[in-house]
Amino acid sequence: MAQQDNRSNDVAAPAPTLVHGAGPDAATLVDYYRQMVLIRRFEEKCQEMYTRARIGGFLHLYIGEEATGVGAIAALRPEDHIFTHYRDHGHAIARGLDINVLMAELFGKVTGCSKGLGGSMHFADASKNFWGGYAIVGSHLLLAVGVALAMKMQKKDSVVMVFFGDGATNGGEFYEALNFAQLWKLPVVFVCENNLYAMGTPLEVHSAVTEIYRKACAFGMTAERVDGNDLLTMREVSLRAVEHARSGRGPVLLEAMTYRFRGHSAQDTQKYRTREDVERHRSADPIERFRTWLINEGIASAQQLRAISDAIDDQVEASVRFAEDSPEPGYEWIMQAGVYAAPIAVDPPIHGE
């Protein structure tokens, strides 16, 4: 069982073990595999397009953390809500956003999910209750709590899941968010993706408490640490957390232990960790781990999974073509309705143009 802590903070978390109860059917399990591979291939293609200067700005890849996002989001219903941080590609794909509109967003095209105005850090799709990626570390937690407040006031039983990193748990907004959520018993599942680094600063250098889930103790909040690289464990623990939140018992903090295989962003030279460290983590690749399990359990054959992977390669190539063929947003956006839902014309106009 994953470590659970809702009372004291003096119990160290043992390494979580796999939990496989009455789980999902074979087709669903294979689909989780598909989602993870789709994220991996999409991200690899993003890196390639970034190197070829087709993608601008910052690029934060989710490679290595796929099981956390896919496992957690698998626990949600369509009417539930998601907020995430700037490393948002994986969550968007796991929520079912079309990779065509995601690649188009990265290319700055008007067909992008945010019309080419947000870029890599600001994927969103309101129609899927995917409220977007936010790039000010830790501060989107409060927005997520606000949506949860709205759900409670509207007497809906939707849950809000919000993703953030270990580096987001030291700023004041994290503590304000946890306090509000617990104080008002709001349906929030806080998912901390602990990848051991706040950008390039190691966990033990940036946080007085390195077991992030223990930070929930100050608020009397239920919290668990979970192996975020084990898809099924992540899913099961998330289901439990979501159920807890949905039942009106208040929020839950999950600490998903994971690791990003690539740098913080595409420019990162990774001086803060050794190649050996990265290789050691790579050898426990969450996708390979799940693939092996699917085959060993007889849920899918190697050929079947290879066919899925091949189809994804084609899908990713097609997303690049879609992005390349799409038009760019025009100047009229700047002069017209881009900034306000209800623009107010003034005379003389603000730019004097």
3-state DSSP assignment of residue 157: coil
Q: How far is the CB of 111 from other proteins (least distance, A)?
A: 10
Contact range with other proteins by CB under 8 A, out of 8-16, 144-152, 283-291, 311-319: 144-152
In degrees and rounded to multiples of 5, residue 316 shows phi and psi of: -70, -40
Q: State in angstroms the smallest separation of the CB of 321 from other proteins.
A: 22
Stretch that binds other proteins, among 10-18, 168-176, 247-255, 289-297 (CB under 8 A): 168-176
Q: Is 131 in the site for other proteins (CB under 8 A)?
A: yes
Q: Which positions from 198 to 217 touch other proteins by CB under 8 A, shown as an x/- string?
A: --------------------
201-202 and 197-198: which strand pairing?
Answer: antiparallel
Which residue, 3 or 139, has its beta carbon nearer to other proteins?
Answer: 139
Amino acid letter, residue 211: E
Distances (CA, A) of 39 to 92, 291, 313, 333: 9, 15, 11, 31
Our finding on whether 98 is near other proteins (CB under 8 A) is no
User: Is residue 22 close enough to count as binding other proteins by CB under 8 A?
Assistant: no
Least separation in angstroms between residue 140's CB and other proteins is: 7
Residue 21 lies near other proteins (rule: CB under 8 A): no
> 219: closest CA among 196, 197, 190?
190
Residue 161 Cβ, how far from other proteins at the closest point, in Å?
13
DSSP H/E element including 204: helix 203-206
Residue 331 engages other proteins in binding (rule: CB under 8 A): no
| φ, ψ of residue 165 in degrees (nearest 5) | -100, 175
Q: Is 350 in the site for other proteins (CB under 8 A)?
A: yes
If the CB atoms of residues 15 and 346 are measured against other proteins, the closer one turns out to be 346
Is 168 among the residues that bind other proteins (CB under 8 A)? no
Q: Which of 179, 210, 270, 309 forms a contact with other proteins (CB under 8 A)?
A: 179
- Cβ partners under 8 Å of residue 306, min gap 6: none
Q: For residue 331, give both structure tokens.
A: 């100047």
The answer to whether residue 153 forms part of the interface with other proteins (CB under 8 A) is yes
- Taking residue 302's Cβ as centre, other Cβ atoms within 10 Å add up to 11
In this structure, which amino acid lies at residue 145?
V
Residue 246 near other proteins by CB under 8 A: no
Q: E-assigned strands of the chain?
A: 3-5, 81-85, 130-134, 160-165, 188-194, 197-198, 201-202, 222-227, 252-257
Length, in residues, of the chain: 353
Q: How many residues bind other proteins (CB under 8 A)?
A: 52
Within residues 65-84, the interface with other proteins by CB under 8 A covers: 81
Q: How far from chain centre, in Å, is Cα 259?
A: 13
Interaction between residue 15 and other proteins (CB under 8 A):
no
The three-class DSSP label of residue 92 is helix
**Shortest Cβ distance from residue 109 to other proteins (Å)?**
11
**Does position 27 bind other proteins by CB under 8 A?**
no
Structure tokens at 276: 């050996």
| 118 near other proteins, rule: CB under 8 A | yes
Element (H, E) at 333: helix 332-335
Binding-site ranges for other proteins (CB under 8 A)? 81, 112-118, 122, 124-127, 131-132, 134, 136, 139-151, 153-154, 172-173, 176-177, 179-180, 183, 337-342, 344-348, 350, 352
